[in-house]
A and B are shown apart, each in its own frame.
Chain A
């Protein structure tokens, strides 16, 4: 997967290049808005990581011109600005996500992958969390090559948790996704499905876990051990 990294801080570029490289990305790094515009016009990238504070221009302009040029790859914005209006402007200009400096590189990688996991993007067909692989086209979950037998509702819950790996998915969102699969969606349908899913994942030695955020929803994390 090719990622275009636009960042003017040389040391940060080096670090991100190696971190992203370790995570399996091929990194093209550019340090100016002008270069970024040219690269975006001709190159094909799966994802763009864009710093807003560039020496020769505003990253938001680069973002807007890329979108105007019909580029629809996910773009993650890096910014030291954190005022609300900046965030809003960034998202309005077509950014898919933003990270505020300073950030943990693991977070950057996780967010980048999450963007690619969205339907229609590079990782959208095969989701990965720990040792669990989810083929969204074949509707098939495998751990160590072995298929995990899951009900349709459980598959749907797991898919959405995997697409938003590391983030809290509100219970209401999961309920919405199940609407149409479960005809009689009781108030504790989701907890029941999560309970079964959790048991099945644990029994088959999955290195990811579903956590409950009581009152809000669920969170899938990769377990380090």
Chain B
């Protein structure tokens, strides 16, 4: 049961159990204690009466023994329905006096009294089945040593019992209320204590390969959770160092490959044209491109997305200008359409230009000769690049943005990094990349970025003007 793993549920369950046990033990102990107290009180009372009786025994002028009861004792023993009785015996066992002559013979088998008062309980005594507590005491009296037995029916204590029961009931309610209060306070404390954890969790959810710099804050957290937060942050530090090392390695490796590639390229340029030299030049060009793209990937990985603002018309024009000589050399045409108004989007100029270059290069490579690759800046903050090639098969579409995936490129062009770079740029800028079909056939890629509105634009523009 998953809810059992919740601290709140566990605390509630355990606290409730502890409180119930404590309450039960308390009530039982209270009853036991009150019973004991009542017992002691009874014993003392019985002893007092026995001693009083001993003093009151007297011999009548006719020689019989009688007890001249005081007014208090009269009320105890001689009233209708009295629950107390006494029996006084001589040493020989003869009954000298009793308050209940009809019950006296039944006391014959009671233990003999001793000088030390002896307290017992007797059940099923006489005609009634009531439980009696009795006290026997052997004492000297004006008529010589006698055994005095006093007894009292337990029901006589009902009043005391009722009071006790009321008290127990009241205390049970009090304990229950107390338990609820403790539970409420406990649960509230846990809630309050763990509340900052929600904020920390939300922050942890933002950590990804592009945002390795994010660290959790222990602020407001209970001290028990600080080691976890600290450990987590340290683990992130180590992972980030690893990632940085890996990026640096990629960047360095790609960088180091450039000089030998430059030599190779130059050497190939020197060789006389032949079909195999042309193939080799193509291979070298592919390697150059791969190295370039690896560097772009490394650069994208290491540069956090910025809050810069770029103008798409200018950026697209720059990309088209840069690639036009190459595209024309490849016997393809290239054209730029765009709105007259500037289109400001949030983005890093370098990264967005890289993305556009990749899309344009792809489009040129997959276009048939003498067709135009059309770059269109859209006023809603997007750039579309349309080619008139064979398009992208339906089954390849979900995978084309993965790194090193080469569906269309299977014939030997490209490294499979271009579209991955584009999609990474889009993601890093909170934009998207879409694929659709060019009217009349071919692929159209649309890079959508976040449009910066007029008021925001003015301030950001000023900021940019100030930085340059």
Contact = CB atoms under 8 A, between A and B. Distances in A.
A12 B291 CA distance: 19
A103 B329 contact: no
Given A101-B258, A214-B334, A215-B337, A106 B317 contact: no
A58 interface: no
A36 to B, nearest CB: 18
A219 B337 contact: no
B350 A84 contact: yes
Interface residues of A, number: 30
B336 A216 contact: yes
Interface in A1-22: 9, 11-12, 15-16, 18-19
A216 B262 contact: no
B265 interface: yes
B261 A214 contact: no
Contact of A12 (B255, B259, B333, B334): B259
B336 A214 contact: yes
Interface in A80-94: 80, 82-84
Contacts, number: 91
Interface stretch (A60-68, A165-173, A185-193): A165-173
Contacts of A106: 269
Given A18-B270, A211-B328, A104 B265 contact: yes
A72 interface: no
Interface string B337-372: 110000000000010000000000000000000001
Nearest to B295: A82
Contacts of B141: none
Interface in B304-340: 317, 320-321, 324-325, 328-329, 333-338
A221 interface: yes
A19 B258 contact: no
Interface string A182-216: 00000000000000000000000000000111111
Contacts of B264: 102
A213 B266 contact: no
B332 to A, nearest CB: 11
A103 B270 contact: no
B236 to A, nearest CB: 27
A221 B329 contact: yes
Contact of A80 (B259, B263, B270, B334): B259
A105 interface: yes
B267 interface: yes
Interface of A: 9, 11-12, 15-16, 18-19, 80, 82-84, 101-106, 166-168, 170, 211-217, 219, 221
23 contacts: A9-B262, A11-B263, A11-B267, A15-B266, A18-B270, A80-B255, A80-B258, A101-B258, A101-B261, A102-B291, A103-B262, A105-B266, A106-B269, A167-B325, A211-B328, A213-B328, A213-B336, A214-B333, A214-B334, A214-B336, A216-B317, A216-B336, A219-B325
